[in-house]
């Protein structure tokens, strides 16, 4: 059965809320009402079929710096004045409508948004890969996940990592890198993004470079959503420094993959990192990399860190030599490939939600 995203309503007036409910019933979609003090997450804001706000809520949304999107409607009681139109511009509202006199126009607008939502149901998943401690192999595992997916967008969000294209061996492949990409707001077309990026062994790659560059949260969000709407498996390689751009990727991910080595110090660092990440996105699990010098098992690591273990992996044979000679290549039975497929299976069990990650069956 196909589901349709709900209308998000941020309206304090009870009569106007009732009017919205009647309009939504006429359109055939549900309404999620948020109270006057409720915070709106970027994911909730982006996932709604349409958003209706009053003047007070529009001010809160503007202060929260939520991403620009279509199908936002500002509702006012009486004739809208200049101040109302100024608020509409700042929050990115498509129309300013007077309720109840323009209820018929609201019905038409919400019906169009609902139809668009049905036609554009999200079907791509987003994974954010991050290390519990430096040297855990985050970029390597992100690349392995992208290689194991049928159609992937690999996003390098570590401006100090030297460029994930070097890890893949695709540094000479033509296409845009982060310093070449400028987005002023709004939605990006996945086909346009895919055509502009380097494509290497079936992976669309948005890499950093060997020079300093700043990642803008709004641009990161637009690229991730383009891949998601286009049906790609989006894999984000994150640094441990939680910038606005990194927080955007964490917040929008369907699954956060926390990589840790299997030793005491790595466990301690990862245990400190885990609650910080869980506060942003509770859909999080561990990948444990061996070997264990002190005899810790993956289950021990999961218990210490307090997170489910998505996969455990042995060392990859001759890894350093492979990386120096043209980038990572994985055989079907390599430890990296096996672990990546396990994590992808978990990701696809929990598309587009924030349910708690369950441990995969043994």
Which two tokens mark 139? 């970029």
Tell me which residue range forms the domain holding 177.
126-349
Choosing from 73, 88, 119, the residue where a domain stops is 119
Same domain as 343, residue 203: yes
Given a contact cutoff of 8 angstroms between Cβ atoms, the answer to whether 290 and 315 are in contact is: yes
Average pLDDT, the chain: 84
Which band of pLDDT confidence, cut at 50, 70 and 90, is reported for residue 350? low
pLDDT tens sequence across 309-346: 999 998 876 666 666 665 666 777 888 889 999 999 99
Q: Give a yes or no: residue 359 inside a domain.
A: no
4 vs 349, higher pLDDT:
349
- 313 by DSSP, 3-state: which? strand
Same domain as 252, residue 315: yes
Which band of pLDDT confidence, cut at 50, 70 and 90, is reported for residue 3? very low
Same domain as 313, residue 289: yes
Give the number of domains in the chain: 2
Q: Give a yes or no: residue 280 inside a domain.
A: yes
Q: Whole-angstrom Cα distance, residue 128 to residue 159?
A: 16
pLDDT at 321: 65
Same domain as 198, residue 238: yes
Average pLDDT over residues 253-266: 94
Choosing from 88, 119, 150, the residue where a domain stops is 119
Choosing from 57, 91, 119, the residue where a domain stops is 119
pLDDT tens sequence across 119-159: 455 578 999 999 999 887 899 999 999 999 978 999 999 98
Please report, for the domain that includes residue 328, its CATH number.
Answer: 3.40.50.300
Q: Give a yes or no: residue 355 inside a domain.
A: no
- Percentage of the chain exceeding pLDDT 70: 87
325 vs 90, higher pLDDT:
90
Same domain as 226, residue 153: yes
Same domain as 190, residue 315: yes
Given a contact cutoff of 8 angstroms between Cβ atoms, the answer to whether 153 and 196 are in contact is: no
Q: Whole-angstrom Cα distance, residue 27 to residue 109?
A: 10
pLDDT at 59: 84
299 vs 353, higher pLDDT:
299
């Amino acid at each position: 059965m196909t589901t349709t995203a709900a209308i998000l309503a941020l309206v304090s007036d009870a009569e106007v809320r009732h009017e919205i409910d009647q309009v939504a019933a006429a359109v055939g979609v549900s309404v999620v009402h948020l109270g006057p003090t409720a915070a709106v997450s970027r994911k909730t804001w982006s996932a709604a079929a349409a958003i209706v706000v009053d003047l007070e809520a529009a001010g809160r949304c503007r202060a929260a710096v939520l991403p620009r999107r279509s199908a936002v409607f500002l509702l006012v009681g009486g004739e809208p004045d200049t101040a109302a139109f100024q608020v509409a511009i700042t929050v990115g509202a498509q129309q300013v409508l007077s309720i109840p006199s323009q209820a018929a126009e609201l019905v038409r607008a919400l019906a169009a948004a609902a139809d668009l939502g049905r036609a554009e149901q999200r079907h791509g998943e987003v994974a954010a890969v991050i290390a519990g401690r430096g040297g855990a192999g985050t970029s390597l595992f992100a690349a392995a996940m992208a290689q194991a997916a049928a159609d992937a967008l690999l996003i390098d969000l570590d401006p100090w990592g030297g460029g994930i294209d070097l890890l893949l061996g695709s540094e000479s492949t033509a296409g845009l890198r982060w310093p070449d990409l400028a987005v002023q707001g709004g939605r990006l077309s996945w086909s346009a993004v895919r055509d502009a990026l380097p494509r290497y062994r079936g992976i669309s790659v948005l890499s950093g470079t060997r020079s300093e560059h700043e990642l803008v949260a709004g641009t990161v969000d637009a690229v991730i959503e383009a891949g998601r709407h286009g049906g790609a498996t989006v894999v984000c390689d994150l640094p441990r420094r939680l910038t606005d751009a990194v927080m955007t990727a964490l917040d929008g991910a369907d699954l956060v993959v926390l990589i840790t080595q299997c030793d005491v110090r790595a466990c301690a660092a990862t245990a400190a990192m885990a609650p910080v990440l869980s506060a942003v996105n509770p859909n999080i699990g561990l990948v444990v990399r061996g070997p264990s010098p002190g005899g810790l098992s993956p289950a021990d690591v999961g218990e210490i860190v307090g997170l489910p273990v998505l996969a455990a992996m042995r060392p990859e044979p001759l890894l350093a030599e492979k990386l120096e000679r043209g980038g990572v290549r994985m055989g079907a039975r390599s430890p990296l490939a096996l672990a990546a497929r396990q994590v992808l299976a978990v990701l696809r069990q929990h598309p587009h939600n924030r349910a708690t990650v369950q441990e995969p069956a043994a």
